[in-house]
Structure 1
Amino acid sequence: MAGAVRTRCLVRRELVAAARPQDPLSDADAAFPGRARSGRGHDEHRARPARVVAPAPPVTSSSTGTAALVEVAHERWDPLLERIGCGDAYLLRGYVESACLLEPGRPLLLHLSEEGGEVVFALILREIEGESGRRDAITPYGYGGPVGAGPEPPIEHFYELYESWCRSAGVVSTFIRFHPLFANQRQAPAGIHVERLADTIAWPLEQDLDLFAGLHPKHRNKVRKAKAAGLEVAVSEAPASLSEFAALYEETMSRLDADDFYFFPADYWQALAEGLRERIVLVEARFDDELAAAALCFATPPWLHYHVSGTNERGREAAAANLVLFEAARWGQDRRLEQFHLGGGAGGREDSLFHFKQRFFPDGRREASVGKLVHDAETYCTLAGLPELRLEGYFPAYRSPD
């Protein structure tokens, strides 16, 4: 298990609480991301091809002296992460491959090993339409970025080699969603453009911590309300199918008028179920046989991640979402996990979703940041129609939907 060797992985261990804000939405609605639609109808979105784009040939390694940045073979991907104690769900091969169904490209794990330590970087390599031999890189939906392990992980050298690798491979830009629990944005060398977003919330699960007493008073009342309504909660590890959950999730996204991106294709749920297997934890609240609310979580010791969730109208009225996340935290505490990462607000904002999460553990803020790297400024500006390089706003600018 990754948890057995996790002390070798660079990760901040101090207790920090995370929270998610709440605005015009009710608690139940706040539990799910909603953004203005991009203009496409939901039918068109559901019909989008769920596929991984045919990749360019594998790129060559970049090296300096005896140190080399190498692309890890797929069969070695997860064993490598486990060996160095960095087997977080969002870095695993199965997760990255499933994320390629949302942002099509080729899944890739880069690795640098030196005497003082190692660095791994999971990403998606995307071809740029109409630009032969040009591509860009992005971390999968969720959290990621270069992660170091060992007493002196060569983070700075990794970024140097990665820059050379990108130039030789025709990679124009890289967008990094840094990992709040690894806090790896803090290891980015000077010169790497890092932007801080709104925080995420991490809920500590120490054995002597009274989870219920630590809730915001409003959330304690909501949990009591859900229990009084007769909701029964069940936790399933490694569920064989996510189809019922997916239907509830889509119902929720429709009610919230969510952005098309959040209407995930059926193949995505199947890929998650097959790719993450025993790491998936599904927490469901029911009125008899009626699924009222559910949360899809990932358990990779020492952490439990809340990924996405859904609720129907009856569950919303009964505050089922509050009970589901509370019971997920209890499940994690019973299994001696250290943190329940609830994530942040929609689009990295301190919105109602953020405040909803924050009320589970008001002191749980974790810094959320993104990194924007341009490896070929001339091509980037040409593709984006910019007279000079600018990094603010949508990135990469040449993929902006506007």
Structure 2
Amino acid sequence: MKIEILTEKNEWDEFLESVEDYGFYHTFDYHQISKSETDQAVLIKYTNNDIFIGLPLLIRKIEGTEYFDAISVYGYAGPVGSKTPLNFNTSNYEKTLIDFFNEKKIVSVFDRLNPYLTFQNILFSNLGEGSYFGELEYLGKIVNINLSNPLEEQRSKYQRRLKTQINKANRLLSLKVAETKEDFQEFQDLYYANMKRIKAKKRYFFSDEYFEKFISSNDYITEVLLAIDNETKKTIAACMFVKTNTMVQYHLSGSDEKFLHLNGSKFLIDQMRIKATKEGYKNFNLGGGLGANENDSLFRFKSSFSDEYHPFFVWKLIVNKEEYDNLCNKNKILKMSSSFFPLYRLAEHK
């Protein structure tokens, strides 16, 4: 039984090549473009005989203290590794992680789990006993289109209104795959306009460098599709999709407000569904609602494509409760004021 901390691309890539399944959220490149200048991206590799588990995290300095905390990248990450037996004893894994967190003076850990890797919940189900406090929290459902099914069967799951909208869009719109710098710039412009329209927080306005590094990475396949209005020849919507192993992920999108009635984003999701099925992908993850809310308009938009859902959990762990409470008190935050985690960073989140 041993633990290794992987921080270099070659060793990170080598580990991922050895596991059964992973998403682009687990890759080295995505961690590098997601972290701030002061964060450290690590993959905590645990080995016990023929079982190995890797937990990718961003370790962050807590300003004004000697302590740190850890968080997963935005998306669906969590641990990946070899196939664990049903009777896998998690106690050694738990102790190894806690010892590492204490050694590195990590006060708390927040991890967004991957809905397609069910063994993640087993690893963390008991990690909340003793002098530390942890929990798995269910945040809602994410929508999946099962690409293993025939195309017509997939489409039969569409809500009636969506079918009508797609039929109309197929008559009025044309598909273009982004290839040039100008194509990608059109996507960015539409994405930024979308974020302004919904009054998104500043952290969702990604930099030009972010997009350049994302699209140029070889750790995964990024495709941007554009919807062109046949009448005006104008690009009225654009979506970014990411492909890894057997998975396609709907990542970012934007639409021209003047052409929302043409349902460009829905048209592009449908086009990617057809394209990815022909290419042999098995699942198309559309994600969930805003903040995993199953009652908002974003979730209703996505669930109009499919009735197949996967549960989305996050893992919250307080390693050092005394220091966690001290930080909350220092920042004058009441413990019951929010479900945000870690609570002492609440002011930074607003």
| Structure-1-length-normalised TM-score | 0.77
- Closer, same or farther: CA 166–237 of 1 in aligned 2, 3 Å: farther
The reply on whether 1:265 has 2:207 as its aligned counterpart is yes
- Closer, same or farther: CA 285–157 of 1 in aligned 2, 3 Å: farther
The reply on whether 1:185 has 2:121 as its aligned counterpart is yes
**1:61 alignment partner in structure 2:** none
- Closer, same or farther: CA 151–375 of 1 in aligned 2, 3 Å: closer
The reply on whether 1:106 has 2:49 as its aligned counterpart is no
Distance in 2 (alpha carbons) for counterparts of 1:200 and 1:239: 32
**Structure 2 residue identity aligned to 1:249:** Y
- Closer, same or farther: CA 134–333 of 1 in aligned 2, 3 Å: same
Which of 299, 302, 319 in structure 2 is aligned with 1:354? 299
Moved segments of 4+, more than 6 Å: 237-241, 386-392
The answer as to whether partners of 2:151 and 2:274 remain within 8 angstroms in 1 is: no
Superposition map of 1:47-196 within 5 A: 66-101=1-36, 105-131=39-65, 133-152=66-85, 155-183=90-118, 184-190=120-126, 191=128, 192-196=134-138
Report how far residue 275 of structure 1 moved: 2.8
Equivalent pairs: percent with the same residue? Answer: 25
Name the SS for the 1:199 alignment partner: strand
Name the SS for the 2:59 alignment partner: strand
The reply on whether 1:228 has 2:171 as its aligned counterpart is yes
The reply on whether 1:321 has 2:226 as its aligned counterpart is no
Name the SS for the 1:244 alignment partner: helix
The reply on whether 1:341 has 2:288 as its aligned counterpart is no
Q: Deviations over 1:349-378 (max 9, x none)?
A: 11110111011002x111011111111111
**Structure 1 residue identity aligned to 2:207:** P
The reply on whether 1:381 has 2:325 as its aligned counterpart is yes
Distance in 1 (alpha carbons) for counterparts of 2:167 and 2:183: 30
Between 352-361 and 286-295, the greater mean CA deviation after superposition: 286-295
Report how far residue 136 of structure 1 moved: 0.6
Name the SS for the 1:395 alignment partner: coil
Report how far residue 325 of structure 1 moved: 0.5
| Structure-2-length-normalised TM-score | 0.87
- The structure carrying a bigger helix percent of its residues is 2
- The structure carrying a bigger strand percent of its residues is 2
Aligned residue-pair number: 333
Q: Deviations over 1:189-213 (max 9, x none)?
A: 3223111011111110015242322
- Give me the CA root mean square deviation: 2.5
**2:339 alignment partner in structure 1:** 393
- Closer, same or farther: CA 143–155 of 1 in aligned 2, 3 Å: farther
The answer as to whether partners of 1:238 and 1:281 remain within 8 angstroms in 2 is: no
The answer as to whether partners of 1:175 and 1:373 remain within 8 angstroms in 2 is: yes
Structure 1: which 5+ residue stretches go unaligned?
1-65
**2:131 alignment partner in structure 1:** none
Distance in 1 (alpha carbons) for counterparts of 2:227 and 2:251: 17
The answer as to whether partners of 2:178 and 2:184 remain within 8 angstroms in 1 is: no
**Structure 1 residue identity aligned to 2:164:** N
Which of the pair has the greater relative contact order for Cα pairs under 8 Å at 6+ separation?
Answer: 1
Structure 2: which 5+ residue stretches go unaligned?
129-133
Distance in 1 (alpha carbons) for counterparts of 2:44 and 2:218: 20
The answer as to whether partners of 1:239 and 1:280 remain within 8 angstroms in 2 is: no
Name the SS for the 2:60 alignment partner: strand
The reply on whether 1:368 has 2:312 as its aligned counterpart is yes
